[in-house]
Amino acid sequence: MTTLEARAVRVPVEEPTRISTRLLDKRDYVLVRVRRGDCADVGIGYAYAGTSGGGLLAGVVDELLAPVVVGADAGDIVGLWERMYQETLLVGRRGGVVRAMSAVDIALWDLAAKRAGVPLAVLLGGRTGPVPAYASGGYYKPGSGTWTDAVIDEITRDRDQGFRDHKIKVGGLPVREDASRVAAAVEAMGPDGRLALDANNGYRTPAEALTALRAFERAAGDAGLWWFEEPLPADDLAGHASLRQRSDTPIATGEIAQTRWEFREMLARGAADLLQPDAGVLGGVTEYVRVVRAAEVFAVPVAPHWHANLHAHLAAASSNCTAVEHFTPEKDIYNFERLLTPETRMVAADGHVVVSARPGLGFELDEGAVEAFAVGPWTAAAGARTRPHRT
């Protein structure tokens, strides 16, 4: 018999920091565990909720998704995805419900790989070993010196750890000040690196975004820019397509998009030169694979957003991944790894992240850390509840 449980955790950001649109002082995650009665393995899944909302996602798992999964065949992963989606149509289709579905789907894939005794990458047809990665950061942290000094110091540290390619935030300062940060970053990374910019939906119109981008391109000089990420509101596909037609720099987006249908529209409308799907957002591993295969058909490269622990496996099993996003632990930006046992955290070296040979996702939860950051208890499996019906 398959059982399912979820738990919300809240991990503080020790030094609150900003992006263009909001303050980041904590991270809420939902953790999921799935078990089968015929084996000792436990599938682990997770998703990021935001600076709040972890309890909401755990409630979705408990009330809406567990009645579908509990007692079903845990190996029927694609079938369970379709049934979870169908059963939650009235309250779901996007948003927190799909994020919760993502966590459940990831747990099912982790369990399947563990039962097979292989890493998830191998189960999906890929390999273990190094996968190209870039150093992400450049947040607006107070107390780190001037804005330009902070960027120089961070990129210098990233280079010392073997990273050649980098990404910094823009959109949180006047364009002239952000342009100075871009120039400082290009100088710090050296002649063999690439620099991407992430605006986090910070500009309102294509004209406003293009004005900023032109200033950033001038600041980057001959080095150019690797890509310009999420310049506009995530739902403004027409705006992204318009900006893409007028830009010399590749336009990237997709980290907030959910399900294959949103990505199909993005590809059909030519809204991105580079897709940034997030398996913890769009619907899990099942939906991520569908999206990446579609991107391959359109010859659009992929650079997955966040979750290097998971996305390294998915990148190793696809042909069009440019690089995996990585945050070094001391930045305390991607702080999910504080929930993992130290020996199973992500390993990065020489501009790569390493897909380990351990079965499944390859990491284990640190139960002490989970307890310390828990918002509530593990939810009880909901197998006895009545399956929800639509009317």
What is the pLDDT, as a whole number, of residue 193? 96
- Token pair, residue 210, equals 């293009």
Model confidence over 95-112: pLDDT tens digits? 999 999 999 999 999 999
What is the pLDDT, as a whole number, of residue 306? 96
SS3 275: strand
Examine the domain organization and report whether 345 and 223 are in the same domain: yes
What is the pLDDT, as a whole number, of residue 382? 46
Mean pLDDT of 383-391: 41
- Domain contains 385: no
Distances (CA, A) of 86 to 61, 98, 294: 14, 11, 22
What is the pLDDT, as a whole number, of residue 380? 73
Model confidence over 129-166: pLDDT tens digits? 999 999 999 999 988 889 999 999 999 999 999 999 99
Examine the domain organization and report whether 11 and 99 are in the same domain: yes
Number of domains in the chain: 2
Examine the domain organization and report whether 144 and 37 are in the same domain: no
Q: Which amino acid is at 301?
A: P
What is the pLDDT, as a whole number, of residue 381? 58
Examine the domain organization and report whether 192 and 282 are in the same domain: yes
Beta-ladder partners of 43: 34
**Percent of the chain at pLDDT above 90?**
95
Domain that holds residue 310: 122-355
Model confidence over 199-213: pLDDT tens digits? 999 999 999 999 999
What is the pLDDT, as a whole number, of residue 169? 98
What is the pLDDT, as a whole number, of residue 39? 86
User: Which CATH number fits the domain that encloses residue 45?
Assistant: 3.30.390.10
Has residue 389 got a pLDDT over 50? no
Model confidence over 240-289: pLDDT tens digits? 999 999 999 999 999 999 999 999 999 999 999 999 999 999 999 999 99
Has residue 391 got a pLDDT over 90? no
Q: Are 42 and 378 in contact (CB under 8 A)?
A: no
Model confidence over 161-181: pLDDT tens digits? 999 999 999 999 999 999 999
- Token pair, residue 226, equals 């690797």
Examine the domain organization and report whether 260 and 291 are in the same domain: yes
Examine the domain organization and report whether 107 and 157 are in the same domain: no
Examine the domain organization and report whether 153 and 241 are in the same domain: yes
**Best CA proximity match to 306, nearest among 130, 99, 104:** 99
Q: Record the pTM.
A: 0.96
Model confidence over 7-45: pLDDT tens digits? 999 999 999 999 999 999 999 999 999 999 888 999 999
Cα angle, residue 341 at apex, residues 80 and 58 outer, rounded to 5°: 35
Examine the domain organization and report whether 344 and 241 are in the same domain: yes
Examine the domain organization and report whether 154 and 54 are in the same domain: no
What is the pLDDT, as a whole number, of residue 93? 95
Q: Which amino acid is at 157?
A: R
What is the pLDDT, as a whole number, of residue 386? 42
